[in-house]
Amino acid sequence: GLNFIDLMVRQGNIDNPPKTPLVPGFECSGIIEALGDSVKGFEIGDRVMAFVNYNAWAEVVCTPVEFVYKIPDDMSFSEAAAFPMNFVTAYMMLFEVANLREGMSVLVHSAGGGVGQAVAQLCSTIPNITVFGTASSFKHEAIKGSVTHLFDRNADYVQEVKRISTEGVDIVLDCLCGENTGKGLSLLKPLGTYILYGSSNMVTGETKSFFSFAKSWWQVEKVNPIKLYEENKVIAGFSLLNLLFKQNRGGLIKNIMDKLISLYNNKKIKPVVDSLWALEEVKEAMQRIHDRGNIGKLILDVEKAPTPLVS
């Protein structure tokens, strides 16, 4: 699976970027070829999906057993590679951090992306949830059925949301950062929760730009704890990769994957795959994410031959 975090890794826009050379990628699906001596519950030949701490974009991947999950019988390998990061992130933010329940409202940015579509699907499993989404206008026709109110990503969505819901929303999920932090906090109802789970505004051109990086941080509204107290607002952050690989919460993630697989088996959720790419086409695939051209997840397929260039 390709994720926006992979672009941030490539540009060095993360804490402690790994030393090169490295193989990127944090999730994959495939068939078990070999097992460690003490591994129980899996057999060679099992179809599985997994989290990997880098090195997922490869023909052979090695990862600890706690990060590996069996693929449901009717789930394809491409769907499985699109499943773990997006759905676990969406589920944990909505239900573990923000305590989503009946009658609430949610604002999600990049509603056409992998996490955005997972959020929309999970919200549909709870009665009477209003989902506000922002996305590029060319995606609106394709995703309008998944959210209640859809706005152009360049529009003044704060005024649009307030026009529909004068009090604002209960949950804001922000993968953009920058000036959107202040906007998101201003839209929260009392007891509402703002969650930052990415900072895609820091990825701009082809190379790392210190100016754009600094500008994005400069736009982040300085959060005053006294103001949070007076307005009864909650501000939170969420990083699935840190939870998995730095904070040792693999057991918690396994419980959530079990719930998500059950939702998939009951046909309540289904990963949205945008497109499949050969490993040789990784540059073009990353450019598609960079340009925000995707609806759902991009997948690198080791068995796919590169598409011939048309002269």
Strand order in the sheet with 68-70: 27-31, 47-51, 68-70
Is residue 11 very low, low, confident or very high in pLDDT (cuts 50, 70, 90)? Answer: confident
32: which 2 tokens? 């078990």
Is residue 222 very low, low, confident or very high in pLDDT (cuts 50, 70, 90)? Answer: confident
Q: Is the pLDDT of residue 214 over 60?
A: no
Is residue 17 very low, low, confident or very high in pLDDT (cuts 50, 70, 90)? Answer: confident
Q: Are 239 and 14 in contact (CB under 8 A)?
A: no
Is residue 72 very low, low, confident or very high in pLDDT (cuts 50, 70, 90)? Answer: very high
Q: How far apart are CA 36 and CA 190, in angstroms?
A: 51
24: which 2 tokens? 């990127």
Averaged pLDDT score across all residues of the chain: 90
Q: What share of the chain is helix, strand, coil (3-state, %, to 5)?
A: 40, 20, 45
Whole-structure pTM value: 0.92
